[in-house]
Every structure is written in structure tokens, then in C-alpha cells.
């Protein structure tokens, strides 16, 4: 009896061994031993030609039925990312609608600019001489009709028009010195413009006080309300008196804060307001009038607090020269750089790859996860969403595969980092070595978004590491 039991046990054991061996032989080719080697990519101090940020140039067009425009200079521009501010003066149509000829010329100008690859800030106005009262239409209905006419064309170019500044009124289009610069008329104008224009086009007003009036809120925009399509979420700021005085030339109030925040507040309070608001809507303009407020060190602090993403490259030259004469003495790759270049490199967002990791998993596991950490060291966020892709390229065959990345880059605010987690199926890859590349792209302009890192880059982006898969350790 005992012998029979021993024989039975032996048979069972042999059968198990055979099954385990067969199972191992069957599964062995699917096992993957994985390792990841992170590339070392030091932070770079190079200037990056990225969309929606940096220095803009102004181009002016006075529309009329008889106007002619030489657009050859525009056509000759290199096709690359960058900003341009186009100002369209409508004073010749102050007595009635913009003619079909005028609208056609507007469309022609925008078409030429679209071909440059630039992102456009556009301002419609009636005055370049500081006397809007003499050149604006005598009836609000005329301005409203101009908005209706213009919006039909503007929306056709929503892929390249980034921001509409102002609401057509005021000296230089800056919403002051106008018979319509009262709360009721301005609300009528901004709501009309908002209702007419593509949701992808951002709007901008001159002061934080106006933002609060139009958004009907004493509090700045929050993360939960950002990018929801509301007027408040599309409404940024433009400051053409930036750093020009303690009040930024009447952009802010006196040092005394008013009980209601619907009034202009003190500089300290308005900078605090912008520091929250402009994480989610853009802020830019031009610096003016040399004074201690725009010395290099205080300027860097205020530009950072206001989250400034774009500035006029031509004005004020005296202020820009002050910055160029200073040297950045802080730590990091910018040490020793002149102040103008330091500010230039921090206007807007500036993404630095801080790390890429892919923890090892057991060889029979099906999935692993690549982790990528990006930090924004610029003055501001980006206010349009970017696409992120990870490409794996087999080094022998050149065969590539993209991994899906889900992230809202608009929420990568200044001074913060995001960690991207990118899962992938280990067993879907043949054994071998794969270069890992990270690419960020603006889908509206199809422009690449460059990282502030040293390192190799090709059409698939930056080389950030290598994955190796094998069936043996």
C-alpha cells in the first residue's frame, strides 16, 4: 500500500514538473527584463523661440477704401514662432460701417501674417494721437456694428490670433480718454465682443479694476474656473504703462486701498491680485519711463509677480538699456548674463526637464510606467494647451511607437513642477534597446515647444533616456 502511494506521488510530482517546464518554456519568450538609463540634460540658458511668449513688434494699418499696404516685408519674414502686435485704425469708418473694401483689406493682411507662423496680438482702435474723443464714432451702436463686422473675419484666423486687446475705444485703444469709458458702455462693449469671437481667442483689458468689473468678481480667477470658456476665463490684461511709476501711470490707485475692490487698489494689492489671476490668463505690454521702479532687480520681481509673458521689443529703449547694463548674479546657468537677456529668457513659460525615471518591474509583469518631471522656471504659464508625446525608437531598426500622454500644460504655473506618468505594455516590445524622446508641440501653430535643456533633439523631440528589454537579466 505504501509503495502504491509513493508511486502515485512520484507520478504527480513528475506531471507537475513537466507542466511547469512546459509552462515556463511557453512563457519564457514573453518575459521581459527591463532597465532604464536616464540621460543627463543640464538646464540651458539659451533663448527659446517658443509660441505665445517673448518680445513683440508693432505693425500699424490704417484701414480705408483707398489705403494700400506693402506687405512684402511681412511675406519675407521667416516662418517661425513669435509674437506680433497688429493695430488696425478704423477712424475712417467712424461715421458708419466698415466697407466691403475695408474688410477685404483686413482679411488680406491677416492672411499674409498667418503664413509667417507668428502668433498675433490684435488691437482695433480709432486713435493713435492721444485724442480718442475727436476720432471715435459719435454713437456706441457704430462701434458695436464694427465689432460684429470685424469678428466674422477675426474668427477665420483664430488659429493664429492669440489675443484681442481692448474694446476698440480710448486713446491708443487703451480704454481711457473716451466718452465710452464708463462702466455701462464698457460692459456693453466687452460682452458684445465676447459673444462674437471664437472661444479660442483670448481678450485683454487695460487694468485689474476693469477685469473685476467685467468678470463681476472681486476675486481673481481660480484653478477650478480657469479655461471654462466664461468671459472671466478668457480675459487677460495688457499694461502699456508697466513699471512707469508707482501706479504704472494710473493703472493702479494710490497707496490707499479702497473698501470696494471694484475701485483701483494700491500697487501692492494689485500686484497680489495679478499674481493669482495671471496664472490662468495672460499679461503683457510695454515698459516705460526710466525710474527706480524699473531698475533691474525690482523689475524682475514685479514682472514675475505679474506673470508677464510678452513685452514690446522697442519701447522703452532707455529702460531696456538699463537692464542690459546690469548683470544677473544669482546661481544657476544664467549667472553672469546681462539683465535684458535674463528677463528675455523668463518672459512667459520656460519648461525644464528635471528628471525621467522608469522603475524596474518583475519580468512577468505586463506594464511599466515612465515618469517625467517638468518644471516651469518662467514668469508665467502658457494659456493655450500643448500636446506632449513620448516616442520609443528601436536603435537597430529605427521603428518608432508613440506613447499616450495626458496632461494639461496650462496648469504648469511658474515655480511649480508636474510629473507625467506614462504607462506602457512591456510585452508589446521586442527585445532590444529603445531611445526615449519627449516632444511638446503647439497644436494650433504646429510649432515645437523647446525645453530649456542641453541635449540632442530631432523631429521626435529630446532624447531623455534609453529603455532596454531582454529575456535574460
pTM: 0.91
End-to-end, the C-alpha distance of the chain in Å comes to 47
More confidently predicted of 6 and 414: 414
15-24, 198-207, 276-285, 309-318: lowest mean pLDDT where?
15-24
Model pLDDT, residue 15: 54
CATH architecture of 54-346: Alpha-Beta Barrel (3.20)
Write out pLDDT tens, residues 218-267.
Answer: 999 999 999 999 999 999 999 999 999 999 999 999 876 666 667 999 99
Q: How far is it, in rounded angstroms, from Cα 344 to Cα 308?
A: 11
pLDDT at residue 38 tops 90: yes
Q: Report angle CA 55, 336, 461 to the nearest 5 degrees.
A: 55
What pLDDT is stored for residue 21 in this prediction? 43
- What's the chain's average pLDDT? 92
CA distance 204 to 290: 25
Q: Burial, 467: exposed, middle or buried (Cβ in 10 Å; 0-12, 13-18, 19+)?
A: buried
pLDDT above 70 (res 123): yes
Answer for the pair 352, 334: CB distance below 8 angstroms, yes or no.
no
Mean pLDDT of 201-205: 98
Q: Which CATH architecture has domain 30-45+351-470?
A: Sandwich (2.60)
Q: pLDDT tens digits for 82-106?
A: 999 999 999 999 999 999 999 999 9
DSSP 245: S
User: Which residue is listed with cell 507542466?
Assistant: 19
Average pLDDT value for residue range 295-314 = 98
Position 20 pLDDT exceeds 60: no
List the grid coordinates of 237.
Answer: 490684461
Asked if the model's pLDDT at residue 323 lies above 50, the reply is yes
Q: In this predicted structure, what is the pLDDT of residue 1?
A: 59
Model confidence over 147-197: pLDDT tens digits? 999 999 999 999 999 999 999 999 999 999 999 999 999 999 999 999 999
Question: Start-end ranges of CATH 2.60.40.10 in the chain?
Answer: 30-45+351-470
**pLDDT of 327-350, one tens digit each?**
999 989 999 999 999 999 999 999
Model pLDDT, residue 254: 85
- Say how many C-beta atoms besides its own lie within 10 A of residue 466's C-beta: 18
Torsion of CA 75, 76, 81, 82, to 10 degrees: -90
User: CATH 3.20.20 residue ranges in the chain?
Assistant: 54-346
Q: Which residue in 386, 161, 376, 345 sits closest to 279, CA to CA?
A: 376
User: Does position 26 have pLDDT exceeding 70, yes or no?
Assistant: no
Band (pLDDT 50/70/90 cuts) for residue 9 is low
22 pLDDT above the threshold of 50: no
Give me the mean pLDDT over the 417-442 stretch: 93
Q: Which one-letter DSSP state was computed for residue 419?
A: E
pLDDT at residue 321, rounded to an integer:
98
- The kind and range of the H/E element at 103 are helix 100-114
Provide the pLDDT confidence category of residue 404 given band limits of 50, 70 and 90: confident
Which of 25-34, 378-387, 396-405, 428-437 is modeled with the greatest confidence?
A: 378-387
Share of the chain above pLDDT 70, in %: 91
Amino acid at each position: 500500500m505504501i509503495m502504491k502511494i509513493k508511486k502515485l506521488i512520484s507520478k504527480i510530482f513528475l506531471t507537475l514538473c513537466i507542466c511547469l517546464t512546459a509552462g515556463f518554456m511557453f512563457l519564457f519568450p514573453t518575459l521581459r527584463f527591463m532597465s532604464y538609463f536616464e540621460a543627463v540634460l543640464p538646464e540651458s540658458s539659451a533663448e527659446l523661440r517658443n509660441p505665445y511668449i517673448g518680445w513683440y513688434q508693432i505693425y500699424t494699418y490704417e484701414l480705408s477704401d483707398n489705403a494700400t499696404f506693402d506687405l512684402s516685408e511681412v511675406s519675407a519674414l521667416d516662418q517661425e514662432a513669435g509674437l506680433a502686435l497688429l493695430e488696425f485704425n478704423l477712424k475712417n469708418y467712424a461715421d458708419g460701417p466698415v466697407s466691403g473694401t475695408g474688410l477685404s483689406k483686413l482679411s488680406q493682411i491677416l492672411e499674409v501674417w498667418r503664413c509667417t507662423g507668428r502668433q498675433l496680438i490684435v488691437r482695433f482702435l480709432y486713435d493713435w494721437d492721444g485724442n480718442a474723443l475727436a476720432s471715435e464714432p459719435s454713437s456706441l451702436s457704430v462701434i458695436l456694428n464694427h465689432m460684429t463686422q470685424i469678428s466674422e473675419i477675426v474668427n477665420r484666423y483664430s488659429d493664429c490670433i492669440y489675443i484681442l486687446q481692448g474694446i476698440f475705444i480710448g486713446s491708443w485703444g487703451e480704454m481711457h480718454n473716451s466718452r465710452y469709458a464708463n462702466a455701462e458702455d464698457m460692459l456693453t462693449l466687452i460682452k458684445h465682443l465676447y459673444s462674437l469671437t471664437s472661444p479660442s481667442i483670448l481678450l485683454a483689458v487695460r487694468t485689474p479694476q476693469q477685469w473685476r468689473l467685467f468678470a463681476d468678481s472681486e476675486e481673481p480667477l481660480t484653478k477650478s474656473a480657469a479655461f471654462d470658456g466664461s468671459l472671466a476665463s478668457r480675459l487677460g490684461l495688457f499694461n502699456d504703462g508697466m513699471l512707469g511709476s508707482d501706479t504704472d501711470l494710473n493703472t493702479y490707485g494710490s497707496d490707499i486701498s479702497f473698501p470696494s475692490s471694484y475701485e483701483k487698489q494700491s500697487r501692492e494689492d494689485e500686484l497680489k491680485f495679478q499674481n493669482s489671476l495671471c496664472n490662468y490668463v495672460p499679461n503683457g505690454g510695454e515698459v516705460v519711463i526710466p525710474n527706480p521702479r524699473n531698475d533691474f532687480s525690482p523689475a524682475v520681481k514685479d514682472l514675475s509677480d505679474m506673470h508677464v509673458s510678452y513685452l514690446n521689443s522697442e519701447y522703452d529703449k532707455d529702460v531696456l538699456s538699463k537692464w542690459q547694463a546690469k548683470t544677473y548674479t544669482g546661481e544657476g546657468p544664467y549667472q553672469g548674463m546681462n539683465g535684458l537677456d535674463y528677463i528675455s529668457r523668463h518672459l512667459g513659460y520656460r519648461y525644464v526637464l528635471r528628471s525621467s525615471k522608469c522603475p524596474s518591474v518583475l519580468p512577468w509583469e505586463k506594464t511599466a510606467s515612465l515618469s517625467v518631471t517638468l518644471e516651469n522656471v518662467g514668469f508665467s504659464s502658457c494659456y493655450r494647451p500643448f500636446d506632449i508625446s513620448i516616442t520609443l525608437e528601436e536603435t537597430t531598426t529605427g521603428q518608432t511607437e508613440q506613447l499616450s500622454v495626458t496632461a494639461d500644460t496650462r496648469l504648469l504655473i511658474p515655480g511649480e513642477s508636474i510629473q507625467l506618468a506614462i504607462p506602457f505594455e512591456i510585452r508589446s516590445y521586442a527585445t532590444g534597446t529603445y531611445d526615449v524622446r519627449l516632444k511638446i508641440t503647439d497644436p494650433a501653430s504646429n510649432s515645437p515647444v523647446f525645453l530649456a535643456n542641453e541635449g540632442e533633439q530631432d523631429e521626435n523631440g529630446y532624447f531623455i533616456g534609453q529603455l532596454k528589454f531582454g529575456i535574460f537579466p
